[in-house]
Amino acid sequence: MTSATLAPDRPAPRRTVRSGRRLTRASGLGLGVAMLWFSLLVLIPLTAVVVTASDGGWAEFWATVTNQQTLAAIELTVGTAFLVTLINIVMGTTIAWVLVRDDRFVGRRVLEVLIDIPFALPTIVAGLVLLSLYGPDSPLGVNIANTRVAVFFAFLFVTLPFVVRTVQPVLAELDREAEEAAASLGASRFTVFRRIILPSLTPAIAAGAALSFARGVSEYGSLVLLSGNLPMRTEVTSVRILSSIENDNLEGAAAVAAVLLVISFVVIVAVDVIQRRVVRRG
Amino acid sequence: MNRTRVAGALALAATLALSACGGGGASGEGTTTLSIVGYAVPEAANKAIIAEWNKTDEGRGVRFQTSYGASGDQSRAVVAGLKADYVHFSVSSDVTRLVDEGLVDQNWDDGPNKGIVSSSIVVLAVRDGNPKNIQGWDDLVKPGVQIVTPNPASSGAARWNALAAWGHISANGGTDAQAQEYLTKLFANVVSLPNSGRDATTAFLGGTGDVLLAYENETILATQNGEKLDWVIPSTTILIENPGAILKNAGPKAQSFLNFVLSPAGQRQFALKGFRPIVEGIDTKGVEGALDPNNPFPAPQKLLTVSKDFESWSALSKKYFDEKEGIIVKIIAASGKAK
C-alpha cells in the first residue's frame, strides 16, 4: 500500500528505459529468425543427441564411455586436437602476420588464396592426398601412415585456416599509430607486440582456436585413410561413433558424441575465459 | 507486448520456413520410376542390368532413381524414409532391419534364391607379382606381413573377411580356441582397419600393406578400372551372399525387375562386373579383369556358406560381432593393446 502512495511522486525514468528496450518491428523479426534458425540447426539437434544418449540409462552410458577402446579414442582425439590448436595459435598468427604486414613477400597473394583450400577440399579427397604424399609410396620419403602422427597431421591440415582467417582482418584494421607511439616512447619490439598488438588480437586468436579445436575433435574424412583406425592406437572418436552406429547402437554413439560435446563446450568456455584475462592484463 | 511481438516474429518465420520447404517431390506422370537403394559396390552392375532390362518389353520406358552408399547407412536411410522400391545390400541383416520395420515382407527370402541376388568370395589381394609370395591364410600370420582389411567391428560387409579367416581354422578341424588364436595373430599383423571395403581398397592401392582381405568382385572391378594388383583364392574361403528385396509398397514393376535381376540375362551382367552368378549355367566367358577371363570364377577347394557353417547371419553377428561380447570384436580390441 505504501508503494501505491509513493508511486505518483516517483519520476519516470524507468519507463523511458523500457521503451528504449522495446523491439522495433525489424529487430523483432530479426530476433525471431535468429532464434528459429539457431533452434533448428543447433539447439534441437544437440538436445536430441543428449536425449538419445540418455535413452540407455546411466549405467549403460557410463559403460559405453568408459570402455577402454573408447577412452583411448577420446584421449587421442582430444589430446591431438589440443596440441594442434596450440600450434595453430602460433602458426596461424604468424601466417596472418605475413599476409597483412609483410609487404616484401611476393608470394603473399598466392598464399592468400591457397590458405582456404583445406576448407574447400572435401575431406576424403584431403585424406587421399595426404595418403599419397605421406603414405608408404611417399614421393617425399615421409611415411607416417597408420601412426598417431597421421592423425596429428590430418588435424593440422583441416584446421589451418581458422586462426589465420580470424586474426587477419583484425590485424589489418589495427591502428599502427599506437605501435609507433609506444616505439617512440622507447618500448622494445617485443614489448610493443605483447602490450599493444597481442591484446587486440587475443579475441580473434581465441575465436580461431576454439573453432580449430572443435573442428579437430570432430574430424573424420581426412584421416580415415591415413590413420589406419587401429584400436587403442590410431582410432579417433568419430570412428568409434561410426562403429556404434553400424552396430545399431544409437545410444552408444550418442553417448560418445555427448562426451565430445561436453569436452568441446568446456574447452570453448575455457578459451573465452583465458582470452578475457589476457585482454584485461594487456 | 514484447512477448507477443517476438512470438509473432517466430510464427512468421516458421511459416516462411515451412512454405519454403514445401513443393518439390514431383511424381512421375505416366512413366514408372523405380527407386533402387543399394550399397556402393554393385552400382556398375546394376546400371548394366537396368540398361538390359530397358530393352525388354517388361522394362521398356521404366526409369530409375538410384542411391548408393555404405550398406548399413543405406538400410538405415530407408528406415528413416528414403524412398525405395528395390534394395540391394551387402549383408542380410540390412534387409532384416527393414523387415523388422514392416517395410519388407517377412517371406522375402523364401524363394529359390533365398533372397540372394549376387555373390562373390573372399580373396587375398596382393601387390602385383605377389612379391611376398602369399598363397593362403597361413602366410598371413608370418612375421613381417602387413595386412589391410576393413574393420569387421564397424563395417557389416567386412565381417565376411573375418568369417573366412575363422572358417579356415574351424572348417578344417580346428577348435574355437585355435581359431581365436589364429585371428589374434592375424589381427596383430593388421596395419590398417578402414571403415569400409572401399576405403580399405583405396588405402591398399595407396601403398599400405602387403595383403588386402578383399572380395573377388572388388579386385576384378579394380583391375577393370586399370589398377595393378594380384590376388590369390585361398583354399578355404566363404561365399559372400548379397541380398536384394522388394519393398512392400513397391509397384508391380519392381517385382518384374527383380525377376530380371535373377534371370540368366541379369546374372550375366553381374558376372561381367566380377560377381559370381547365383544360378548355374550362366555364360561367364569374357569377364575382363579376372585372373583368367575365360575361367573367371574357379571353384575354391572349400567354400563355406553362412547357413551351412555359421548357422545364420543373426546368430553369427551375436557370437562374433556383438559390440561388447563378440569374440572377434574382442580380438580386434586386444590387438591394439598388445603393442
Chain A hits for B212, CB-CB cut-off 8 Å, are none
pLDDT at residue B3 tops 80:
no
Annotate A136-193 with DSSP letters as a single string: TT-TTS---TTSHHHHHHHHHHHHHHHHHHHHHHHHHH--HHHHHHHHHTT--HHHII
Q: What pLDDT does A282 receive? A: 58
Cβ atoms B284, B277 nearer than 8 A: yes
User: CB distance from A57 to chain B under 8 Å?
Assistant: no
What angle (nearest 5°) sits at the alpha carbon of residue A246, between those of residues A244 and A249? 45
Q: Is the pLDDT of residue B123 over 90?
A: yes
Are B9 and A33 within 8 A, CB to CB?
A: yes
Q: Does A244 touch chain B (CB under 8 A)?
A: yes
Read off the pLDDT of residues A66-112 as tens digits, 9 standing for 90 and up: 988 999 999 999 999 999 999 999 999 999 998 888 777 777 888 88
Instruction: Output the pLDDT for position B338.
Output: 64
Quick one: pLDDT at residue A212?
94
Q: Which residues in chain A are contacts of B8 at CB distance < 8 A?
A: 28, 32
Indicate whether B195 pLDDT > 90: no
- Inter-chain touch A243–B151, beta carbons under 8 Å: yes
What ipTM does the predicted assembly reach? 0.73
Distance CA B288, CA A23 (A): 71
Rounded to a whole number of angstroms, the distance from the CA of B138 to the nearest CA of chain A is 22
CB contact under 8 Å between B207 and A131, yes or no, is yes
Min distance B331 CA to chain A CA atoms (Å): 11
Name the closest residue on chain B to residue A26, using Cα atoms. Answer: B9
pLDDT digits (tens, 9 = 90+) for A121-170: 888 888 888 888 998 888 998 899 899 999 999 999 999 999 999 999 99
Q: Which of B10, B14, B194 sits opposite A224 (nearest CB)?
A: B194
Interval A222-233: pLDDT, tens: 888 888 889 888
Mutate to test the interface with B, among A229, A236, A238, A245 (most CBs of B within 10 A): A229
Confidence at A21, pLDDT banded by 50, 70, 90: low
Alpha-carbon gap, residue A227 to B172, rounded angstroms: 35
pLDDT at B72: 87
Note whether B8 contacts A136, CB cutoff 8 Å: no
Question: Residue A229: which of B2, B13, B151 has the nearest Cβ?
Answer: B151
Q: Does A145 touch chain B (CB under 8 A)?
A: yes
- Using 50, 70 and 90 to split pLDDT, how confident is the model at B15? very low
CB A84 within 8 A of CB A155: yes
Give pLDDT, residue B1. 41
* Min Cα separation A141/chain B (Å): 13
Name the 3-class secondary structure at B92. coil
pLDDT in tens, A248-281: 888 889 999 999 999 999 998 998 898 888 877 7
Out of A29-38, A110-119, A227-236, which region has the weakest mean confidence (pLDDT)? Answer: A110-119
A146 touches chain B (CB under 8 A): yes
Predicted pLDDT of residue B196:
83
User: Would you say residue A50 has pLDDT above 70?
Assistant: yes
Q: What does the pLDDT read at residue A27?
A: 85
Q: How far apart are CA A253 and CA B308, in angstroms?
A: 34
Strongest mean pLDDT among A13-22, A109-118, B8-17, B159-168: B159-168
Q: Using a CB–CB cutoff of 8 Å, tell me whether A52 touches chain B.
A: no
Of B9, B72, B191, the CB nearest to A29: B9
**CA dihedral sign, ordered A259, A262, A265, A269:** negative
Q: Does A232 touch chain B (CB under 8 A)?
A: yes
* Cβ–Cβ below 8 Å for B191 and A239: no
Is B120-240+299-337 in CATH node 3.90.550.10?
Answer: no
Partner-chain residue, chosen from B9, B193, B323, that has the shortest CB–CB distance to A230:
B193
pLDDT of residue A178: 86
B33-118+241-272 fold: D-Maltodextrin-Binding Protein; domain 2 (3.40.190)
Cβ pairs A/B, distance under 8 A: 122
Give the whole-angstrom CA distance, residue B237 versus residue B298.
12
Residue B22: which pLDDT band, with cuts at 50, 70 and 90? Answer: very low
* CB < 8 Å to A69, chain B: 333, 336
Q: Region B184-206: what's the mean pLDDT?
A: 90
Beta partners for B102? none
Distance of CA B168 to the CA centre of its chain: 21
Where is B227: in which H helix or E strand? none
The answer to whether the Cβ–Cβ distance between B192 and A136 falls below 8 Å is no
Q: What is the pLDDT of residue B339?
A: 56
- pLDDT at position B251 is 84
Residues forming CATH 3.40.190.10 domain(s) in chain B: 33-118+241-272, 120-240+299-337
Q: How confident is the model at residue A20 (pLDDT cuts 50, 70, 90)?
A: low
**The residue to which cell 577402446 is assigned:** A69
Cβ-based neighbour number of residue B311 at 10 Å: 12
* Per-residue pLDDT at B47: 94
A102 compared with B331, residue with greater pLDDT: B331
Average pLDDT over residues A36-60: 88
